[in-house]
Amino acid sequence: MDNDLITAGQISDEFTLMSLFFRADLVVKLVILILFAASIFSWTIIIHKIRLFRSLNKLTKSFEGIFWSGKSLKSISLDAADISDSPIRSVFLDAIEEVEKSKTISSKNYESVSKRIERVMDASIDLETEKLSENFGYLATIGSTTPFIGLFGTVWGIMNSFQSIAISRNTSLAVVAPGIAEALFATALGLLAAIPAVIAYNIFTNQVNDQNAKMYRFKEHFSIIFSRSISSKNES
C-alpha cells in the first residue's frame, strides 16, 4: 500500500509544470519560454489598454458636458484645458488653433477657412485613431502565431517520444507519457497566449471604432456650429 502511494506521489511530481519544463528538450524549452514571454507581453498591453479606454470614456463625457454647455468656443477651450488629454479634446483644440490662425482672413474667405478646419480635424482624427490603435499589431501577431508555435513544440515533443520508443524498444505508456505531456504543455501555453490576445484585440478594435465615430460626430457638430457663427457674422 505504501509503495503504491510513493509511486503515485512520484508520478504526480513528474507531471508538475516545473518538472515538465526542466525535463523538456532544449527546443521545447525554447518554445515554452517564447510563449511565456508572449503571454506576459500580451497581458501588459491588455491591462494598459483597459485602463486607457476606461479613462477615455470618463474624459470624453466630461468634455462633451463642457462643449454642450452653451458657452462660446473660446470659453470651452479654456475650460477644456483643465481636462486631461482625450481624443475629442485634441480634435477640438486643433480646430480652435486653426480658427485662431484664420482670424485675420477676410469674410469673403470664410468658406475656404471652413474647409481648411475640416481638413485639420480629419487629420487630427486620423492621428488620434493611430494613437488608440498602438500595439494592436502585437496583439494580432500573438493571437495568430502562438498556436502554431505551440503546435511546433507539440510536434517536436511527440517526435522525441517516438525516438524514445525506438531506442528503448518499449511501447509502454510510461516511456512515452512524459514526452507527450511536455508536448501538450507547449500546445496549452500557445492557446493560453493566443486566446486572450484575440479576444482583447476584437474588444479594443470595437472601442477604437466607437471613439472614432464619436470624433467624427463631434467634427460634424463643430462644423455646423462654426458655419452658424459665420452666417451670423455675415448677416450682421
Helices and strands in the chain: count of H runs, count of E runs = 8, 0
Report the candidate in 89, 91, 96 with the shortest Cα–Cα distance to residue 73: 96
Give residue limits of the domains in the chain: 24-235
What is the structure's pLDDT at 181? 73
What is the structure's pLDDT at 4? 45
- In a 13 Å sphere around the CA of 73, the CA atoms on its Cβ side amount to 19
11-35 pLDDT, tens digit per residue, is 445 556 566 666 667 888 888 889 9
Each residue's pLDDT, cut to its tens digit, for the chain (236 residues) gives 444 444 544 444 555 656 666 666 788 888 888 999 999 999 999 999 999 998 888 888 888 887 777 766 777 777 777 676 788 888 888 888 888 777 665 555 677 778 888 899 999 999 999 999 999 999 999 999 999 999 998 888 888 777 777 776 666 666 666 667 777 888 888 999 999 999 999 999 999 999 999 899 888 888 887 777 766 555 55
Contacts 24+ apart (CB under 8 A), 63-70: 63/88, 63/89, 63/92, 64/88, 64/218, 67/92, 67/218
Average pLDDT value for the chain = 80
pTM of the model: 0.78
In the chain, the N- to C-terminal Cα span, in Å, equals: 102
